[in-house]
Amino acid sequence: MTVPALHVPVMLRRCLDLLAPALAAPGAVVVDATLGLGGHSEALLTTFPAARLVGVDRDPAALRLAGERLAPFGDRATLVHAVYDELPDVLDGLGIPRADGILFDLGVSSMQLDEADRGFAYARDAPLDMRMNQGTGISAAEVLNTYPPGELVRILRSYGEEKFARKIVDSVVREREKEPFTNSARLVELIRAALPQAAKRTGGNPSKRTFQALRIEVNRELAVLERAIPAAVAALPVGGRIAVLSYQSLEDRVVKQVLAAGAATTAPPGLPVVPERYQPRLKLLTRGAELPGEQEIAENRRAAPARLRGAERLREDVTAGNRR
C-alpha cells in the first residue's frame, strides 16, 4: 500500500491559496488538524518552506503512514495523536502560543474508507467498527446492538437525515434479538429490505445515510466539531487564517454558523459608532461555501461533496480587560 495511491487531497490548490497570506513569514506555524495520510500537509510544507507544521489525528494508523510521507521534512513537521478539539492542549504542549494557519479536512479519511476491516464503507462486507481510533470508544456494532430503539431513531434522523429511520430501526431491533450485528453486509441487506421501493431509486446507495449516522455517533463528530472550530478561531493571531473542508450538510452548518458569527458585529442596534469590542473578529474569505470544479470531481470522485469555507482573524478579543 503506497500512500500517494490512497490519497488525493481535495481542493488542494484553493486551500493553499486561502492560507498563503498567513504563512509567508519565516517561522509561521500551520496546523493540519485532520492529518489523515498527509497529502495536504506535504503540500503545505513544500509550498511554504519557512513554515512549521503541526499535524493532528486521532487515528494511530494514519499518523504512522503520514509520518513516513512527511519524514523528508524532518523537524519541520510535528505529528500529534489527538482529536482536533484538543488543539489548544496540543499547542500548549508544544509551547506554541498561536497557529498562523489552520486546516480542517473533515469526515472519514481515504485510508479509513479503503481499509476493509474498518467498516466505514457500505460497499463491502467488513466488521461494523467505524471508530477512527480503534483503541477507544464503542463500535458501530455496539451502537446497533445495545442502544434503545428511540435513541437509534434519533441518531439516524439527526445525523443521517434518514426519513425512514423508524422503519430501519424496527428491523434492526427485530434482527438483533435473533443475533447481534457484527458485519456491514447484514446491515446493508436489512436497510434495502426496510426501505420502500421508491426510496431506493434515488439518492445513491440507500445505506449511505445510516452509515453516516452511525459513524458520526461512534466518533462524536459533531460534538467534537462544535468545540473544535471556535477553539481554532481562538488560536489564530490577527492575520491568521482558517480553511475548513466539509463533506455533508451537518458539518458545513456548524462551520458556517461559527464563522458567520465571528464575521458579524455584536453591537446593539442604533449605535452611531461601533466600538472595537463589537467589531467583527473575522473576515470571510469565501462567498458561501466554495465547491470543487468539474475537472477535480472527474479526477477524484471523493471531492464531489466537498464544501470549502475560509476566514481571516481581524482583531483580538477584548473581554474583562484580557486580550486574546
pLDDT at 3: 47
Alpha-carbon torsion (87, 91, 92, 97), positive or negative: negative
Torsion of CA 303, 128, 253, 308, to 10 degrees: -20
- What mean pLDDT value characterizes the chain? 89
pLDDT tens string 59-92: 898 899 999 999 999 999 999 999 999 999 999 9
pLDDT tens string 108-117: 655 455 455 5
pLDDT tens string 153-206: 999 999 999 999 999 999 999 999 999 999 999 999 999 999 888 766 666 688
If we measure between CA atoms, which residue out of 202, 205, 207 comes closest to residue 190?
207
Provide the pLDDT confidence category of residue 319 given band limits of 50, 70 and 90: low
Q: Are 162 and 154 in contact (CB under 8 A)?
A: no
Would you say the pTM of this structure is higher than 0.85?
yes
| Buried residues in 261-270 as b, exposed as e (16+ CB within 10 A) | ebbeeeeeee
Q: Report the binding-site residues for S-adenosyl-L-methionine.
A: 38-40, 57, 84, 105, 112
pLDDT at 324 over 50: no
Counted residue by residue, the chain has a size of: 324
pLDDT at 4: 43
pLDDT at 323: 38
Which 8-state DSSP code applies to residue 127? B
Quote the CA–CA distance of 22 and 314 in Å, as a whole number.
Answer: 12
Q: Report the binding-site residues.
A: 38-40, 57, 84, 105, 112
- Helix-then-strand count for the chain, H and E: 15, 9
pLDDT at 149: 97
Q: Are 62 and 33 in contact (CB under 8 A)?
A: no
pLDDT at 318 over 50: yes
pLDDT, mean of residues 218-227: 94
pLDDT at 227 over 80: yes
Quote the CA–CA distance of 274 and 276 in Å, as a whole number.
Answer: 7
Determine what percent of the chain is predicted with pLDDT higher than 90: 74
Quote the CA–CA distance of 293 and 72 in Å, as a whole number.
Answer: 31
Cell numbers at residue 94, please?
Answer: 508544544
pLDDT at 221 over 60: yes
Q: Set out the domains of the chain in order of their start, with CATH numbers.
A: 3-111+221-323 (3.40.50.150), 116-219 (1.10.150.170)
pLDDT at 272: 81
Residue 211, classed as helix, strand or coil, is helix
pLDDT, mean of residues 236-259: 96
Q: Which residues contact 298 (CB under 8 A, 6 or more apart)?
A: none
- Helices 149-160, 165-178: axis angle to 10 degrees equals 140
pLDDT tens string 97-137: 999 999 999 976 554 554 555 555 666 788 999 888 887 88
